[in-house]
Each structure stands twice: as C-alpha cells, then as structure tokens.
C-alpha cells in the first residue's frame, strides 16, 4: 500500500463512525463508498466493527425476570404517598419492615421516658406563680400608699398646728389692737 | 414493535395512563438492563439503577420531546442515574493502555474467531475497557444512539466520543485475538 493510500485509510478510520451513522455530507459519503469498494483494509475495518457490535449485542444481552420487571413498573408508576403515611405504613422488603419496627420501638421508648420524667419532676404552676406575683405587687402598692398617708399625718403633727393657731390668734389680736389705735371712735 | 405503536404508548403515558408504561419500557427492557449491568458490573446495582431509571422516566414523561428518539432519552436518563451512583462510589474499573498493548497483535480475520466461547471473551474484553471507552461502547451497543447523541448524553465533544469508540473496538478486537492464540 502506498503512502497516499495509507493516509486515505487513516482518514477513513477517523470518519468511519460518522460514515456508519450517516452523519456525513452526501459528497463525502459517496467518496468513501468509492474508496471502500476498492480498499480491502477499509472494507474489512467496517465488517470487523459490525461483527464486534453484532456479536457483542447478542452475547452481552441480559434480562430481568418477568415478575421482577412487572413489580418494578408497578413501583415506578404508583402514586406518590405522603411522606408521613410512607413512614407510618412502609411497604417493601422484610428488611425495610424490620427497620420500621426498630424506629417505632425507639420512638415508643423515648415517649415513655418523657412521660415518666414529667410525672416525677415537680413543675412550678405557672398560672399560680403569676397570680401570686401580681398580688404581692398590689400589696406593696397599697402598703406604700398607707405609708405615704402616715408620713403626711406625721408631718402635720410635726408642724404643730396648735401652736400655729395660737400664733395666728396672737397675730389677730395684734392686728385688732392696731386697728383700735386707728379708730376714730 | 412499530414506531407508531411506540408513539401511541408514549402519548398514553404522557396522559397519565400507567398501564401503557410497562409495554413501552418492555421494548427496551433487555437493552437497558444489559447496559446498566455491563456498566456497573453487578446485578444488584444494575437492578437498583433500572428501578431508579423507571421512576425518573415515568415522572419525566411530560418533559419528553419527540425531537429526540425515545430510546436516546431513556438511555440518557439511565446513563445519568448510573453516573451519579458511580461517582458516589468512585468505582471505576480500569485497565491501563500498557496492559492492553502487551496483549499480542494478530491480523487474523475476526470472523474466524467467532463462535469459540465468544460470550466469555467478549464479556471480559468489555469489562477490561477503561471506563470512558466502556461507557461510549455500551451506549452505542445497547442504546443504539448516534455518536452525536452519545456526545450530548455524556457531555463530551464528538471527536472525543469517536476516539473512545475507535479505541474500544480496537481493544476488543485485539483482546479477542489474543485470547484465541
């Protein structure tokens, strides 16, 4: 094979899959068609690829059992259940159901512990506590008002109102005397 | 099954007719399962991926556009689902280029080798492919996708995809020849 021919074959090797996919322009496809008909290397390259793919397709074929396939389809199309319903009523393998039982048992134990703790611990009555606090506050307010009144009374006492009245009397007398002096009677 | 029948089933699925989904998937059931099994390497994972692909495709039926072949759309979903799982597991079976080059080269026509315990050999050959080559080879083989579609599904340039295919076929041929010597 000449160097030129070799180059053409290498070029074809690069485009062979596009040729097989019919993804080349009409001219290019026609050009390769011509080349293949005259080139043993390239025509056997195509047949080798076709053989590998055909045989691999047959030999590598695997399948699922019908029942399994049907169950998978069923699972794929089933309506989406609410998460909580799914959690509470699981459907599935024994393993999944066992996992659910374990979850349920754990939740049950935790709930029981919470109930026991709440029953054994003395909790302050919040309503009662607030009422007492309000009463205390009201009591303090009344007491402070009483004390204020007492203080005022004390102040009054301390100011010696009797003396003040006597002084006033005296002042009145002085004023009367003065007025007598100015009288023309 | 004719294209018209497939189209009718697709339309029914889009209208929410669950009974049409089974027959529609059944058309590609073998190819889809074979693809997933060869890609991930074990039956249990392949079944999980198959189930996940079914759920995603049923949910996404309304998003399917006729501009794309249904098989390509379905295989793209399967491929993305498998890639997510494999990425999580970071499980890629690889064989080095050198290992494959060490295998003997023969120019015997491939036709002569067919029929000699071919199944095991081709399975081994595909299993030994580097992951990217295996991915492209299997999408072409099972999904019957064009290389342009494979490039879109794998998010790789067309030339890279063509190169992966070229090397995968070359290596499988080489491996098959070496096994027969």
Residues B173 and B102 in one domain: yes
Contact A72 B50 (CB under 8 A): yes
Mean pLDDT computed over A60-79? 91
CB contacts of A17 in chain B (<8 Å) are: 147, 162, 165-166
| CATH code at position B155 | 1.10.10.10
Nearest by CB to residue B118, choosing from A17, A21, A55, is A55
Cβ-based contacts of B123 with chain A (< 8 Å) = 59-60
Nearest one of B8, B2, B62, B38 to B143, comparing CA atoms: B38
Q: Is pTM beyond 0.80 here?
A: no
* pLDDT at residue A54, as a whole number: 86
User: pLDDT tens track of chain B, all 181 residues?
Assistant: 577 889 999 999 999 999 999 999 999 999 999 999 998 888 999 999 999 999 999 999 988 988 889 999 999 999 999 999 888 776 444 434 444 444 434 444 455 555 556 667 788 888 889 999 999 999 999 988 999 999 999 999 999 999 999 999 988 888 777 655 5
Low-confidence winner among A26-35, A100-109, B11-20 (lowest mean pLDDT):
A100-109
Q: Does one domain contain both B120 and B173?
A: yes
Check whether residue B70 and residue B142 sit in a common domain. no
Looking at beta carbons, which residues of chain A come within 8 Å of B173? 48, 52
Residues B36 and B84 in one domain: yes
CA A112 to chain centre: 27
Cα-based angle B31, B36, B41 (whole degrees, multiple of 5): 130
Q: Both B7 and B82 in a single domain? A: yes
Same domain, B82 and B108: no
- Which of chain A's residues have a Cβ under 8 Å away from the Cβ of B21? 73, 76-77
pLDDT at A182 over 70: no
Give pLDDT, residue A162. Answer: 73
A18 closest CB neighbour out of B46, B58, B147: B147
Last residue of a domain, one of B70, B89, B108: B89
Best mutation target among B46, B120, B162 (most A Cβ atoms within 10 Å) is B162
Nearest residue of chain B to residue A67 (CA atoms): B22
Average predicted confidence (pLDDT) for chain A: 81
pLDDT confidence of residue B95: 39
Domain region containing B114: 97-179
ipTM for the assembly: 0.78
Q: Helix, strand or coil for residue B22?
A: helix
Domain boundary among B42, B69, B89: B89
Q: How many CA atoms lie within 13 A of A19 on its CB side?
A: 22
Nearest to B9 by CA among B18, B71, A68, B54: B18
Instruction: Name the domain count of chain B.
Output: 2
**Interface-testing mutation among B28, B44, B61, B146, with chain A (most A C-beta atoms within 10 A):** B146
pLDDT at B163: 93
Q: Are residues B7 and B85 in the same domain?
A: yes
């Amino acid at each position: 094979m000449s160097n030129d021919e070799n180059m053409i074959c290498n070029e074809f090797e690069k485009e062979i899959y596009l040729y097989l996919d019919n993804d080349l322009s009409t001219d290019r496809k026609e050009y390769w068609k011509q080349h293949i008909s005259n080139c043993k290397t390239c025509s056997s390259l195509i047949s080798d690829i076709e053989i590998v793919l055909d045989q691999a397709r047959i030999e590598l074929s695997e399948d699922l059992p019908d029942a399994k396939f049907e169950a998978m389809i069923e699972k794929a199309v089933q309506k989406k259940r609410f998460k909580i319903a799914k959690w509470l009523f699981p459907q599935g393998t024994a393993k999944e159901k066992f996992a659910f039982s374990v979850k349920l048992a754990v939740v049950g134990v935790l709930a029981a512990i919470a109930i026991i703790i709440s029953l054994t611990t003395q909790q302050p009555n919040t309503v009662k506590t607030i009422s007492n606090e309000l009463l205390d506050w009201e009591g303090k307010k009344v007491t402070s008002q009483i004390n204020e009144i007492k203080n005022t009374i004390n102040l009054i006492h301390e100011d010696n109102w009797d003396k003040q009245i006597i002084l006033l009397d005296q002042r009145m007398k002085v004023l009367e005397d003065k007025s007598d002096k100015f009288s023309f009677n | 099954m004719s294209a018209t029948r497939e189209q009718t089933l697709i339309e029914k699925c889009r209208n929410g007719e669950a009974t049409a989904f089974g027959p529609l998937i059944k058309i590609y059931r073998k190819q889809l399962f074979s693809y997933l099994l060869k890609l991930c390497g074990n039956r249990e994972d392949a079944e999980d991926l198959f189930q996940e692909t079914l759920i995603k495709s049923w949910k996404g039926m309304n998003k399917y556009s006729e501009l794309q072949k249904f098989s390509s759309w379905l295989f793209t979903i399967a491929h993305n689902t498998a890639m997510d799982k494999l990425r999580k597991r970071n499980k890629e079976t690889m064989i080095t280029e050198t290992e494959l080059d060490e295998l003997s080269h023969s120019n015997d026509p491939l036709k002569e080798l067919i029929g000699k315990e071919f199944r095991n050999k081709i399975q081994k050959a595909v299993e030994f492919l580097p992951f990217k080559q295996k991915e492209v080879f299997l999408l072409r083989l099972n999904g019957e996708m064009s290389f342009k579609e494979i490039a879109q599904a794998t998010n790789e340039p067309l030339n890279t995809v063509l190169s992966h295919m070229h090397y995968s076929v070359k290596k499988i041929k080489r491996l098959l020849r070496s096994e027969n010597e």
